[in-house]
Amino acid sequence: MLSLETDLQTERDHLAASRAALKRMREHAEDLYATGDQVAGDPFAAETLGRHLARRIADLADNPDTPLFFGRLDLDEHRYHVGRRHVTDAAGEPMVLDWRAPLSRKFYQASARDPQDVDVRRRFGFVKGELTSFEDEHLGRGEEQGTSQILLDEIERPRVGPMRDIVATIQPEQDELVRAELDESICVQGAPGTGKTAVGLHRAAYLLYLHRERLRRAGVLIVGPNTAFLQYIASVLPTLGEVEVRQSTIDGLLATPVRAVDDERAAEVKNQDKMAAVLQKRLLARIRRPEEALTVSDGSYRWRISAEALRRIVDDVRREAPPYATGRERVRARVVSLLMRQSEARRGDSPGEGWQRRMGKVAPVAELLDAVWPAVTPEQLVFEVLSDPIDEDLDEAERAALRWAKPPKSAKSAKWSAADAVLIDEAAGLIDRVPSFGHVVVDEAQDLSPMQARVIARRSEHGSITLLGDLAQGTAPWAARDWGTLLSHLGKPGARVVPLTTGFRVPAAVVALANRLLPALGVDVPAARSLRADGALTIGTVGEIDGSVVNAVRSALEQPGSVGVIAADAAVGALAEAIRAAGIAIAAAEDTDSDARVTVLPAGLAKGLEYDHVIVVEPADIVAAEPRGLNRLFVVLTRAVSRLDVLHARPLPAPLDGLSSAPM
């Protein structure tokens, strides 16, 4: 016991010394920042250095609630503490090793069977930033714990506020994914609560650490399903020291503001992958083969290019298939080049750049371009397709669904829907190149339509992707039934698909309930198993919904943690009213900082979120509200971290039929 206390004290001393070292590193960076103007040779260098140092100072901030290290590795000769960032002493010796450093990998991967030179792996337990315990595994002696108590404490802790990082407890199968090579695209099929989102965010942080310069230039993008979700995950990367990652919904990536709503059928047709071909054909149909020769006056000279030579230029460029706008410029450049050759032959010297620019713009050349390769905006192209959808690949019903209900006068006055914005992005990608990110993480990817997938494909053409999702949680009308098809739309057909099945959120009893829905969902996915034996599930028949929900919220509030009331979208307003009328404060779904512990949430927004206590209201209504209602119910039931109440006045949906349901 004494030795344990002594050990704990030694570790606390190391923590204090590491804190002091971090402070020294920060002060050093601050000093450099203050004197930056003098050390840098010129204003540009001063600004670059200043930005670098400001970032470094932010990186070195010490948050008293997040322990500087969480583990220790005893190797043959050396002992390393593993933490959130590198900390070195005044002599440059490591005091804390960044979790992403190659050596730290042993902390996550070593096992009794494969100790990887690790004699002892130590995990630390913290309470509010205080080091309170540790667990040792003597891997060198072939000893290994079963499931770590520190991990169990971590996953069972009450969830309040935004999502937290999991660096201290990343599991070996998660670590494999986090540390996959930058060039490798991967797809994670993960049952609810298996840590897909966590893996995606940590992979982004890991890649930024290893390939900082390359990724800083190209950028890293995280795509999530809605703003409530983005708020929920927003603080994970900053706690890992990464602040320069763009986080967006699909709509947020698009340049077109959404000001209209499609009916279901129109949205479905517009999201089919064949719309890409429809747009492309329509665009290429603008290109005409020249029929007349071109004559250009140039002072006392007249140059002439035959119709045949012009046709050859247009045919060649078309065959090269550059983006449309590049094609137009290429035709212009080749026409000018032929003019130049004539000029050289006649005048005996090469005309300069000014001449070439002028020739590119003279009226006959401009007219030729407008006739054979007319300029077009993405909006104009989509406007034309929706005004007159004549493509032979569309049947009559599809054409009718596409046609404007009330045709606008022009592309400029059109009000675009979310699906139109995706079509406009597709058109923009046909006309011009879209810059590609170095790495893109897509969460809840099962809900991407083929056309939305192409939005991401354009932005990851020269980079890699991490695709995260669960086919069982697909709720959009176009949700993926298999990953292979979606991966082809994303331009990464060969990506590895890796399943995750160990759940860290949902208690076993709740997983068993949700798994009953799986056979009815029409997708082939492995069922989850939960690491959590705790947790409570109540299924109750009630007479009157509102009053019963208020009672359930009251008793949920007697326990620590967050409470999520999830109901069919149409029922949420009245429920929130009833809860407020009972004097209970409610937080908005986007507001993860609110003091109120209760959130009332439409089923449509529950994806990706979690609450300690979830109250699901009238499952039959959630199922009836949409075509993939059972998938929606699967999502909703799996949001609970500790306790789930299912309240129903109507019979439960068929797959849950026969479950014992006590009157409440």
Ligand X SMILES: Nc1ncnc2c1ncn2[C@@H]1O[C@H](COP(=O)(O)OP(=O)(O)OP(=O)(O)O)[C@@H](O)[C@H]1O
The site for ligand X (CB under 6 A) is made up of 151, 154-155, 166, 169-171, 174, 190, 192-198, 470, 473, 504-505, 608, 610, 638
- Please choose, from the candidates 276, 267, 478, the residue with its C-alpha nearest in 3D space to the C-alpha of residue 391: 276
Residue 196 annotated as binding site: yes
Residue 193 annotated as binding site: yes
- Toward ligand X, which CB reaches closer, 157 or 286? 157
Q: How distant, in Å, are the alpha carbons of 540, 541, 648 from that of 663?
A: 5, 5, 10
Residue 248 Cα to chain centre, angstroms: 7
Cβ 190 to ligand X, closest distance in Å? 4
Instruction: Write the burial class of residue 534 (CB in 10 Å: 0-12 exposed, 13-18 middle, 19+ buried).
Output: middle
Is-contact 54 33, C-beta < 8 A?
A: yes
- Toward ligand X, which CB reaches closer, 431 or 641? 641
Alpha-carbon span 330 to 333, nearest angstrom: 5
Cβ 641 to ligand X, closest distance in Å? 7
- Toward ligand X, which CB reaches closer, 191 or 313? 191
Residue nearest to ligand X (CB): 195
Cβ 139 to ligand X, closest distance in Å? 19
| H or E segment and range at residue 221 | strand 220-223
Q: Which residues, other chains included, contact 210 with Cβ-Cβ below 8 Å and sequence gap of 6+?
A: 100, 182
- Toward ligand X, which CB reaches closer, 122 or 196? 196
Q: Which residues, other chains included, contact 182 with Cβ-Cβ below 8 Å and sequence gap of 6+?
A: 207, 210, 211, 214, 215, 438, 439, 464
Cβ 617 to ligand X, closest distance in Å? 19
For residue 71 the two structure tokens come to 């583990």
Is-contact 545 578, C-beta < 8 A?
A: no
- Please choose, from the candidates 598, 544, 271, 317, the residue with its C-alpha nearest in 3D space to the C-alpha of residue 423: 271
3-state per-residue secondary structure call for 485-547: HHHHHCCCCCCEEEEECEECCCCHHHHHHHHCCHHHHCCCCCCCEECCCCCEEEEEECCCHHH
Cβ 26 to ligand X, closest distance in Å? 28
- Toward ligand X, which CB reaches closer, 449 or 473? 473
Backbone angles phi, psi at 4, to 5 degrees: -65, -45
Residue 161 annotated as binding site: no
Q: How distant, in Å, are the alpha carbons of 246, 404, 406, 417, 604 from that of 266?
A: 31, 9, 13, 10, 20
Residue 71 annotated as binding site: no
For residue 597 the two structure tokens come to 């512990």
Cβ 611 to ligand X, closest distance in Å? 11
Is-contact 228 589, C-beta < 8 A?
A: yes
Cβ 203 to ligand X, closest distance in Å? 12
CA-atom Rg of the chain in angstroms: 30
- Toward ligand X, which CB reaches closer, 117 or 156? 156
Residue 494 annotated as binding site: no
- Toward ligand X, which CB reaches closer, 411 or 509? 509
- Toward ligand X, which CB reaches closer, 382 or 601? 601
- Toward ligand X, which CB reaches closer, 431 or 511? 511
- Toward ligand X, which CB reaches closer, 525 or 647? 525
For residue 625 the two structure tokens come to 């509200």
- Toward ligand X, which CB reaches closer, 73 or 166? 166
Alpha-carbon span 270 to 380, nearest angstrom: 16
Residue 36 annotated as binding site: no
- Please choose, from the candidates 549, 507, 509, 510, the residue with its C-alpha nearest in 3D space to the C-alpha of residue 648: 549
Cβ 95 to ligand X, closest distance in Å? 25
Is-contact 223 441, C-beta < 8 A?
A: yes
For residue 387 the two structure tokens come to 């005004």
Q: For the chain, how far is it from start to end, CA to CA, in angstroms?
A: 50
Alpha-carbon span 446 to 584, nearest angstrom: 36
Cβ 78 to ligand X, closest distance in Å? 26
Measured at the CA of 210, the angle between CA 490 and CA 458, to 5 degrees, comes to 20
Residue 197 annotated as binding site: yes
Is-contact 295 364, C-beta < 8 A?
A: yes
Cβ 606 to ligand X, closest distance in Å? 9
Q: How distant, in Å, are the alpha carbons of 285, 379, 415, 608 from that of 421?
A: 22, 9, 10, 24
Residue 194 annotated as binding site: yes
Cβ 445 to ligand X, closest distance in Å? 11
Cβ 201 to ligand X, closest distance in Å? 8
- Toward ligand X, which CB reaches closer, 437 or 611? 611
- Binding-site residues for ATP, in ranges, read 190-197
Annotated binding site, which residues?
A: 190-197
